[in-house]
Amino acid sequence: MSSLPKNQTTGIAFSTAEDVFVRGKSLTKELIGHLTFTEMIVFQILGRRPSPAQTRVVDACLVALMEHGLTPSALATRLVYSSASEAMQAAVAAGLLAVGSRFVGTTDDCGQLLERMLAAGGHLDDQARVIAREHHGAKRAVPGFGHPLHKPDDPRALRLLEIARDEGVAGAHVAAVLALSRAVDEVYGKHITLNVTGAIAAALGDCGVPREILRGFSIIARAAGLVGHVHEEQQRPAMRAIWETADQAVPYDGPLPAGGHPKK
């Protein structure tokens, strides 16, 4: 096992008896009351204060991912809270475990494709066709594209791209995701929805958010939404209905005991 570096440091924060300092700024004198929560998120994570235009785009992305109904993350949070209501944090953490490569967290995977397109140089449409053909040939969905409900277009994606353009933030990443959208339609031979995670990957990329931390913004947004589901579960418990619905929807078909299936 390798030993830790002798001079391990952090550049995020330290505290004294009188104050807390984040990225060199006084929490009480320069940050509290001066930065919005969205501005503070960018400042704490990236070490810089976003411009007003970038703040509006980042804020819009956080709002867009906060809530989408009884999705796997919300169901996990509700079920865990109902089983362990003394630990709200465990319920929210359970829901956040579902922010992955199929739901919410695909911002990271789409961002990786956009990063690849921009790093390759050349015409974006050519790079986009290469990626679309790779995924089509492998029979894989292109991250950031497709949605079971929002067709032909995801209204959230359209709105986010509109805000990015209106704020003058839309740049190379938005151009790349639009080129990829055209290529996907061409290669797959039909229109496939650019979904909200694809739009967020592009919008946050043009705000200077590195690809490797994109999923973190999805986690922040979804955490707030899951707290809302906890609160509704407190007031209007749905756990029993969810449990019974699952029990009826997934019947037992294993070996039967002698005498047949026992009555419930």
Q: What is the pLDDT of residues 207-260, one digit of tens each?
A: 999 999 999 999 999 999 999 999 999 999 998 898 889 889 998 888 888 776
Domain of residue 242, CATH code:
1.10.230.10
Structure confidence by residue, pLDDT tens digits, 17-71: 999 999 999 999 999 999 999 999 999 999 999 999 999 999 999 999 999 888 8
pLDDT of residue 105: 66
Mean pLDDT of all residues in 145-149: 85
User: Comparing 101 with 180, which gets the higher pLDDT?
Assistant: 180
Which has the minimum average pLDDT: 50-54, 119-123, 177-181?
Answer: 119-123
pLDDT of residue 63: 97
pLDDT of residue 122: 85
pTM of the model: 0.90
Q: Do 101 and 219 belong together in one domain?
A: yes
Has residue 209 been placed in a domain?
Answer: yes
Q: Do 146 and 219 belong together in one domain?
A: yes
Report whether pLDDT(1) > 60. no
Has residue 119 been placed in a domain?
Answer: yes
Q: Do 97 and 184 belong together in one domain?
A: yes
pLDDT of residue 179: 97
pLDDT of residue 121: 83
User: Comparing 80 with 1, which gets the higher pLDDT?
Assistant: 80
Has residue 57 been placed in a domain?
Answer: yes
Mean pLDDT of all residues in 167-189: 97
Has residue 1 been placed in a domain?
Answer: no
CA distance 144 to 5: 39
Has residue 262 been placed in a domain?
Answer: no
Has residue 180 been placed in a domain?
Answer: yes
pLDDT of residue 258: 79
> In sequence order, what DSSP letters do the residues of the chain get, joined into one string?
-PPPPTT---SSEEE-SS-EEETTEEIIIIITTTS-HHHHHHHHHHSSPPPHHHHHHHHHHHHHHH--SS-HHHHHHHHHHHH-TT-HHHHHHHHHTT-BTTTBTHHHHHHHHHHHHHHH-S-HHHHHHHHHHHHHHTT-PPTTB--SSS-S--HHHHHHHHHHHHTT---HHHHHHHHHHHHHHHHHTS---B-HHHHHHHHHHHTT--GGGHHHHHHHHHHHHHHHHHHHHHHS--HHHHHHHHHHHS---SPPPTTSPPP-
For the chain, the average pLDDT equals 92
Residue 169 contacts residue 57 (beta carbons within 8 Å): yes
Domain count for the chain, please give it: 2
Residue 53 contacts residue 169 (beta carbons within 8 Å): yes
Provide the domain limits for residue 30: 14-49
